[in-house]
Amino acid sequence: MNHFIKHLLILTLAVFTTANVFSFNEDSISFYRQEIKSTKNSTVKAKSIFLLAQQFDNLNKADSAFFYYTKALKLNKDLNSDSETASCNRAIFTLLVAQNQLNIDPISYLDAYYNYVKSTDDQQQLLQVKLDYASYYFNPKEHKKAKTYYLDALTDAKSLQDSFTMAKINTNLGLLHSGFFSQDSAKVYYKRAISLYKQEHSDQLFSTYINYANAFEKEKNFVEAIKHLEQAKKFKLTKHEKMYHKILYGKLSNCYEQLEDYKSALNYYDKYINIKDSLNIEAQNVEISKVKEQFDNEKLRADNLESEAKRIQNRNLLFGSLGVILFGSITFFLIQKNTRKKQRLAEQEKQLESQKLATTLKEQELTAIDAMIEGQEKERQRIANDLHDDLGGLMATVKLHFNALKDKSTPELFDKTNSLIDEAYQKVRTVAHAKSSGVIAKQGLLKAVQHMADKISVANKIQIDVLDHGLDQRLENSLELTLFRVIQELVTNVLKHANASEVTIHLTNHEDSINIMVEDNGKGFNPSQITKSNTGMGINSIDKRIEHLDGKLTIESEINQGTTVIVDIPI
């Protein structure tokens, strides 16, 4: 069995045992993270990342789920895996729809999934996607779009001869018209739905007749409403029977009351109350049992007064003994509790002193870091100006004088030397552009990163893409400057060490945090060999900046598999 098949079997087993073994907890997350780290096969890695995203999704950790779904989406796109890419788009759409106050519109992901389904010509899937669109637009502002998609889906269901789906769509159209159009048109759709359902669809027929009756009730046509509620009574429900009949009898009672038929209204109100009470029948049975027990005890006391007196005497003795024991236990507990409280207060005082000392040291360290960053910024600007104005101008002058000697020198030597001077000059310009591309006050972080990426891409013949997710507003200026320097240092590491041809910079605003992810397709390395003291890759400088912002730095890399650096900064 080769390595690729082995990994696929492990993943398949994990999918079928997740509910029983992992139960969507930290163990399953650790499992998939280890799988992502250990496998060298890109297909298996993409699948593991997707499954990891599902774990976070099931734990309601939407931000982590979105991050890994997006990562799986990108990797599957690179692998040209259309079906897996479509699954990622569907998962992201479902995730974003559940987030009420998110600025990201999920419809683009559903659009991408829809385009894939169209290409497969799977009519059943296409029908379901249209129903997804209809549900998405089922709101007061866009209900007309919802109707368009329902009607389109209805046409597909007719061509597939799927009468059950046709019936459900007609029911939904009835609800849509009842809420946003007219009750007359809603009744037309309810009637069509009833004609399409089969007798075994008793639950659906029951609810459709209830909705049908609602349409008449809204028009104050209580006679017709009662007729349709009576029709609903004929169907035997397969689940939640008492709950649905409580709704039915409540509506019948209200309609008869509006018609001033108070006898019928009272009759159905009694049924409503009886079912409502029977839903709590277990509690009633407990109370009945208590009453019966009390009755039996009274009978027993009446039959044998002497035995009852002895029982009471023994009981009193027992209660007295228990009272003494209880009093002693409470006294001991209070003494012990008071002692522990004093110990905790003493420990808390020690902790407060330690925290004050740590806070003082932290403030001193942060002050030093601020001074270091400010000094670095001034030094970078000075070096950039010197390189560009002094050394750059000097190199240009040397080349100009050198050209005058071309006729007097050996052409081969001249060409070689001229090439070296060109290369040196270009490197000087590259360093000057890279080091001076700071966060311009009027442009902000995103513009500065894009400007830096463009300059470095041209000078170093490397493709650098900058992708932003929700970063449409400016951050605090010092925060933008620090984040820019972190990104600049990470890109410099790629240029110096990775031998990469492509770099992608992701900037994501999660409202309460900023996420930066820098990915490259370079030669990679073993992250365990990189330490804070390894100054060659600037880890100490980067880590200090991130620690200053109470952030977190994560490095993921494998030999010949590229490198991903993730930075999370709370706002």
* Residue 539 bridge partners (DSSP): none
CA proximity to 113, closest of 134, 97, 128, 98: 128
Q: Mean pLDDT over residues 240-247, rounded?
A: 85
Q: What is the pLDDT of residue 88?
A: 93
> Which of 99, 1, 87 shows the shortest CA–CA distance to 47?
87
pLDDT at 1 over 50: no
Cα first-last separation, the chain: 49
User: How many angstroms separate the Cα of 184 from the Cα of each of 60, 528, 571?
Assistant: 42, 71, 53
What are phi and psi for residue 413, nearest 5 degrees?
A: -65, -40
pLDDT band at 473 (very low <50, low <70, confident <90, very high): confident
pLDDT confidence of residue 296:
47
Bridge-based pairing of strands 563-570 and 463-469 is unpaired
Cross-strand pairs, 515: 508, 568
Q: What is the pTM of this model?
A: 0.42
Domains defined along the chain, listed by start: 37-280 (1.25.40.10), 462-570 (3.30.565.10)
In three-state secondary structure terms, 521 is: coil
Per-residue pLDDT reduced to its tens digit, 207-216:
999 999 998 9
Q: What is the pLDDT of residues 132-174, one digit of tens each?
A: 888 888 888 888 888 898 898 889 889 989 899 999 999 999 8
Which pairing describes strands 552-557 and 502-509: parallel, antiparallel, or unpaired? Answer: unpaired
Q: Can you give 355-415 as a three-state secondary structure string? A: HHHHHHHHHHHHHHHHHHHHHHHHHHHHHHHHHHHHHHHHHHHHHHHHHCCHHHCCHHHHH
Beta bridge partners of 502: 463
Q: What is the token pair recorded at 467? A: 């992708």
pLDDT at 564 over 80: yes
Question: Best-predicted range by mean pLDDT among 79-83, 274-278, 382-386, 530-534?
Answer: 79-83
Statement: residue 421 has pLDDT above 50: yes
Torsion region of 410: left, alpha or beta (phi above 0 gives left; psi -120 to 50 gives alpha): beta
Task: Report whether 376 contacts 424 (CB < 8 A).
Answer: no
Mean pLDDT over the full length of the chain:
79
| pLDDT surpasses 60 at 326 | yes
Contact yes or no for 516/507 (Cβ under 8 A): yes
177-196 tens-digit pLDDT: 888 888 888 889 998 999 99
- The pLDDT score that the predictor gives to residue 17 is 40
Rounded percentage of the chain residues whose pLDDT exceeds 70: 74
List CB contacts of 27: < 8 A, sequence separation 6 or more: 21
Burial status of residue 216 (CB atoms within 10 A of its CB: 0-12, 13-18, 19 or more): buried
CB within 8 A of 8, min separation 6: which ones?
44, 47
State residue 462 phi and psi, 5-degree precision: -130, 140
